[in-house]
Amino acid sequence: MCIVSVAQQGYLRGMGSARRQQLWWSGVCLVLACMLAIPAAAQECQEVPPQQPSDSFRFESSPEHRSFAESLPDGLIISSITITRYRVFDREDPRENAGIYRWANDFHSLTREWVIREQLLVKEGDYYLATMVRESERVLRDLKFLYDARVRPWRRCGEYVDLEVITRDIWTFTPTVNFKRSGGTNEYSLGFRDTNFLGTGKQVAVRYDSDEERSGTTLIYDDPAVAGSRWRTRLSLTDNDDGHDYRFRLNRPFFSVYERWSAGMRLEDWEREENIWFRGDEVEEFDHQQQSVRFFGGVATERELEKQVGRWLLGYHYENNEFAFSDSEIPPPELPEDREYSFPFIGYQSIEDEYMEIHNLNYLGRTEDLYVGEHYLWNLGYSAEALGATRDQVHFSGRYGNTLRVTDRDLWLVDSEITGFWSTDDAEFENMWLTINSRYHWRQAAKWALFSGIRLDYTDGLTGDNQLTLGGQNGLRGYERNYQVGDRSAVFNIEQRYYSDWHPFRLLRVGYAVFFDVGRAWFEGEDNGSNGGVLSNAGIGIRLNSSRAEKGSVIHIDLAFPFNKDDDVDDVQLLMTVKDRF
């Protein structure tokens, strides 16, 4: 701005007359130059016409905004960031202007503006980088209390650019009344939860859960930005009829692909009754108590490639497992051995900045940020008796994932994970578990898609408290949960999906599926009992995805009909589950 301050005027009065007059006329010329420059700068401004409020509320794509963003070079200076926050229902839409919707808007605590600003990776005065703007948008969309978000430039004046942030809340205060039937067993929950308490982004919850294995009360507090920082914390306290479960986490994650460092800690102390299964029935029960402590951190290296980032990881893990007989009527012949692990570890992670926006894949009618890059992670540690461990072992874990094909019509994703221990004394594995997943999506039309997936599991050296099972809870929907057991399994699923436009009461979006499952869990070279061969089933299902609350939860209601029957297999299975995808 072209001004002469009071201090400057006092400085002028202390000078000689001729020098004062010379500086005075210089100041006048400077002011006049600035006044002439203001219209010229104004003429350089480019603005994108604003969208209609209802279009912004629905996050409809704006070609003008998209082409304007593509025309901007990196390196401009962010002059201002304007934030527009929408409530749950659109009052400009006659279909959502009824009394019940207006009451819901008024009762809802709108997310505070500072909560949104805390999550952005850019601020006023920063250099404009399109990658950071897109990453900020993904960070906002990942928040549990926002349905969707946009971060986009809307005006440029010379070397300055103005950004606008648009968010829409979901209903976050929800009574928890869940009923789930899977594999012939019932589970339910009662309580309440608010994932955006008073609009602050904090989560509080009180819940009572009951299933076939245990029941108990849980208290939860979750803060995604402690004191406005990048640190996050979560506290969970559960008191069950068969034990307890206390967990605390404080960490500063790699909240952005390009973040330079991460650190944190995790504490856990729980006790519960473990169950060993066969043909969907519990055949053994015993108590298991575990305490664990984990400290971890990471530092990002220079980019490996243009969009690929590497991270070195370090940490320490301690874990103690103790077993005892419970008051169950089906105790095991012998208890698993108590064991302790104590090991420092080192690891490396590589991740690619490759995302695509997609609709009608895992959810209905909502923008999804689908990761389509290559990523891998490995960790190695040494659990030694000298550090308090039961025996000398090498701990290993790793993950690998990639997108083998991505077009407008089809998508092929693969991922794998391995974890376990290897004893240096007897050269044997302990709790080694390998999982390989492959998922293929073929979009036949805007609302139609064919999904197929295959999952392979292989284990070696499982301790007595770990078990590989297959049933209604993880792929064979026509059978009870934990129906088959083994040290390896394979399951194939195929679904014809339909993503409808039906939006009843402006609350739920509805999808449908027809599916076929086939799979088996078995021990190599061993008899797995009656009906221990390959199992298969077919069925139909309804998918319900809330457009106003619980955006990451999809309700599955399935009817499955088994083809390979036995005396303990019902003619039809009704499954009601809540999953994080279609």
303 band by pLDDT with thresholds 50, 70 and 90: low
CA dihedral (401, 406, 409, 415) in degrees, to 10, reads -10
Q: How large is the C-alpha radius of gyration of the chain?
A: 29
Phi, psi (5° rounding) for residue 2?
-100, 90
The predicted model gives 342-352 an average pLDDT of 96
Residue bearing the bigger pLDDT, 531 or 36: 531
- Which percentage of the chain shows pLDDT scores above 90? 68
Residue bearing the bigger pLDDT, 2 or 244: 244
Query: pLDDT value at position 98?
Result: 87
Residue 467, Cα to own-chain centre: how many angstroms? 26
What is the pTM (predicted TM-score) of this model?
Answer: 0.84
Three-state SS at 391? coil
Cα atoms found within 13 Å of the Cα of residue 481, Cβ hemisphere only:
20
331 band by pLDDT with thresholds 50, 70 and 90: very high
Q: What is the pLDDT of residues 179-236, one digit of tens each?
A: 666 555 667 778 888 999 999 999 999 988 877 666 889 999 999 999 989 999 999 9
Query: pLDDT value at position 257?
Result: 85
Q: What is the pLDDT of residues 444-466, one digit of tens each?
A: 998 999 999 999 999 999 999 99
Domain boundaries, the chain: 56-169
Phi, psi (5° rounding) for residue 30?
-65, -40
Q: What kind and span of H or E run contains 105?
A: helix 99-107
Q: Is residue 43 scored above 60 in pLDDT? A: no
DSSP letters for 121-156: S--TTSBP-HHHHHHHHHHHHTSTTEEEEEEEEEEE
Query: pLDDT value at position 212?
Result: 67
Cα atoms found within 13 Å of the Cα of residue 312, Cβ hemisphere only:
4
Query: Range with the lowest mean pLDDT among 38-47, 196-205, 325-334?
Result: 38-47
Q: What is the pLDDT of residues 412-434, one digit of tens each?
A: 999 999 999 999 888 899 999 99
407 contact partners, CB below 8 Å, separation of at least 6: none
Query: What does each C-alpha distance from 254 to 150, 231, 261, 300, 524 come to in angstroms?
Result: 21, 10, 7, 9, 42
Q: 56-169 — its CATH code?
A: 3.10.20.310
CA distance 155 to 164: 9
Residue 315, Cα to own-chain centre: how many angstroms? 23
- Dig out the tokens for 286 from the structure: 């015993």
Contact 221, 207 (CB under 8 A): no
305 band by pLDDT with thresholds 50, 70 and 90: low
Query: pLDDT value at position 567?
Result: 81
CA distance 172 to 175: 10
